[in-house]
Amino acid sequence: MQRVTIIGSGIAGLSAAAVLAQQGFDVLVLEKNDKPGGRINYFREDGFSFDMGPSWYWMPQVFEDFYAKFGYETSDFYNLLRLDPSYKVVFEDETVSIPSDFKQLKALFETIEKGTGKKLEKFLAQAQYKYEVGMSEFVWKPGKSIMEFMQLKVFKSFFKLQMLQSISKEISKVVKNDKLRQILEFPVLFLGATPQDTPALYSLMNYADIKLGTWYPEGGMYKIAEAFYKIALDQGVKFKFNSPVTGFEYKKGKISAALTANEKHSTNFVVSNADYHHIDQVLIDPTYRSYTPSYWDNRSMAPSSLLVFLGVDEKLDELEHHNLFFDADFDEHAHQIYKEPNWPDNPLFYVCCPSQTDTSVAPEGKENMFLLMPLAPNLKDSAAKNEEYCELMIKRIEKHIGRPFKDNIIFKKHFSVGDFKTTYNAFKGNAYGLANTLSQTAILKPSIKSKKLSNLYFAGQLTTPGPGLPPSIISGQVAAQELINDLQ
Ligand SMILES: Cc1cc2nc3c(=O)[nH]c(=O)nc-3n(C[C@H](O)[C@H](O)[C@H](O)COP(=O)(O)OP(=O)(O)OC[C@H]3O[C@@H](n4cnc5c(N)ncnc54)[C@H](O)[C@@H]3O)c2cc1C
């Protein structure tokens, strides 16, 4: 039996592990941390259960399709709720709730800017086309050569997919109003670049947002990691936690063994799900690295983040499950993330309050809150800096809800740039990988297969198709298929 060693049990690692074990490989996953899921992380404290990573469940079909490969349905693992409103956006002078019903949303757009309803419909019809072509073809290509895209609908409809123009330009044709612009630009923030630098192809995210909806797995996002872990175990995958890989042994242009502090694991293949840069620049012997340090330094990374977990001894019903605080200048904050990296003067941030939907994540009568402020990668953080910005966000939330709650905070914890590095070996402390700019799309992403070692593959948010849970789930399957194809 051929042995595959997978480094990392993030969602992409779990996805690759399950597919390979199903195909008859002997699969071992070596994970640095003490549980599966990677960035789908959580902790429990004082009766609160805090998700530490993803909180937006989008594109539910990608999850459903993965489960179906193994004879399951989503409902075998968790109850999926569609949120309504999907989220709310707090502007300086008003708050806009985004209804899950499209007719209501169209009416809302019309109230804010007359004539936008019809334009929105047309914009979303194009976005649906991009979603369908993108999700059925584009994301499943390993991105090794431009030839992969030649016979595809992708190539035939290159102009319809709008790869070469920016999404911000496209959105400006739909709405003039600044608030509506920010609402339509928000989904691309998940892709780690500014709307000006993101191809209009990614209006497919607007389709995912508005038409496919925002969902929540009851019990918390960690339910997803549990589901993937169970599927991998069912298929016979073996796991070793608290086992960071520290290096490799090589034989004839291949990895022959993965090394941990006390063990040596002989292997026929390796799939690396750990942060690509960490494997390529830290663990692999310099002779076998695919890229140079300057290649990595020139990559545009998705932001890092300051995360703050709060347990509050009262209910804050003025908040929704998802709350975007856009009560500051979007472009100014983006400038301090991408152009002149610094702690932001006047940041935008996001508040997740899952206890508004799910009573299991906080004790009765209390609120579970997760604040996220995007930051430039590699920024130096400190307890004092993190606390300064935590205070700032709390003040802005208090201003929005119209009353103080700071004195009722009974639990508080920060997680910042440095923690991303130490917890996940994240390059520059990135939270969600590489930015999806045009120059970092498809064949221009770090390669799914090593350029120097013929039995090393990569899966996860730094390779194709990109950051986010649905792309990472797909990435694991694409890497596994690539390995299988190479054996045929
Ligand atoms: C704060 C935050 C919010 C997010 N919000 C959303 C959201 O709302 N919706 C969404 O879809 N996506 C969101 N994302 C992105 C999404 O979580 C990621 O894209 C996805 O989880 C990445 O999965 P992965 O498998 O590529 O990598 P990871 O989850 O990072 O997994 C990599 C694994 O490798 C392990 N590892 C590292 N080094 C070693 C080593 N030497 N040896 C062994 N193991 C090692 C790590 O411990 C980790 O478990 C968010 C991410 C963050 C951080």
Any atom of ligand 1 within 6 Å of the Cβ of 411: no
Of ligand 1's atoms, which has the minimum distance to the CA of residue 460?
26
- For residues 431-464, b (16+ Cβ closer than 10 Å) or e, as one string? bbbbbbbbebbbeebbbbbbeebebbbbbbbbbb
Q: What does residue 84 show for φ and ψ, rounded to 5 degrees?
A: -145, 115
Q: How far is the CA of 427 from the centre of ligand 1 (A)?
A: 12
Taking CA atoms only, the protein residue closest to ligand 1 atom 6 is 54
d(CA 397, CA 314): 14
Any atom of ligand 1 within 6 Å of the Cβ of 274: yes
Single-letter amino acid code for the residue at 27: V
* Residue pLDDT tens, the chain, 488 long: 999 999 999 999 999 999 999 999 999 999 999 999 999 999 999 999 999 999 999 999 999 999 999 999 999 999 999 999 999 999 999 999 999 999 999 999 999 999 999 999 999 999 999 999 888 887 888 887 777 666 656 566 666 777 778 899 999 999 999 999 999 998 888 788 889 988 888 999 999 999 999 999 999 999 999 999 999 999 999 999 999 999 999 999 999 999 999 999 999 999 999 999 999 999 999 999 999 999 999 999 999 999 999 999 999 999 999 999 999 998 899 889 988 999 999 999 999 999 999 999 999 999 999 999 999 999 999 999 999 999 999 999 999 999 999 999 999 999 999 999 999 999 999 999 998 887 887 788 899 999 999 999 999 999 989 899 999 999 999 999 999 999 98
Q: Which residues have C-beta within 8 Å of that of residue 150, sequence separation ≥ 6?
A: none
Q: Which residues have C-beta within 8 Å of that of residue 130, sequence separation ≥ 6?
A: 160, 161, 162, 201, 202, 203, 204, 207
Any atom of ligand 1 within 6 Å of the Cβ of 56: yes
* Residue pointed to by tokens 């545009």: 300
Residues linked to residue 240 through DSSP beta bridges, in sequence order: 30
Residue 92 in 3-state DSSP? coil
- Predicted model pTM: 0.97
For each of the domains in the chain, give its residue range(s) and CATH number, in order of start. 3-40+58-70+219-299+434-487 (3.50.50.60), 101-212 (1.10.405)
Any atom of ligand 1 within 6 Å of the Cβ of 477: no
How many Cβ atoms sit within 10 Å of the Cβ of residue 420?
Answer: 25
Model pLDDT, residue 151: 63
With the most atoms of ligand 1 within 8 angstroms of its CB, the residue from 221, 422, 432 to mutate is 432
**Contacts within 8 Å (CB) and 24+ apart, 24-28:** 25/1, 25/269, 26/1, 26/2, 26/236, 27/3, 27/232, 27/235, 27/236, 27/237, 27/238, 28/3, 28/4, 28/237, 28/238, 28/239, 28/240, 28/265, 28/267
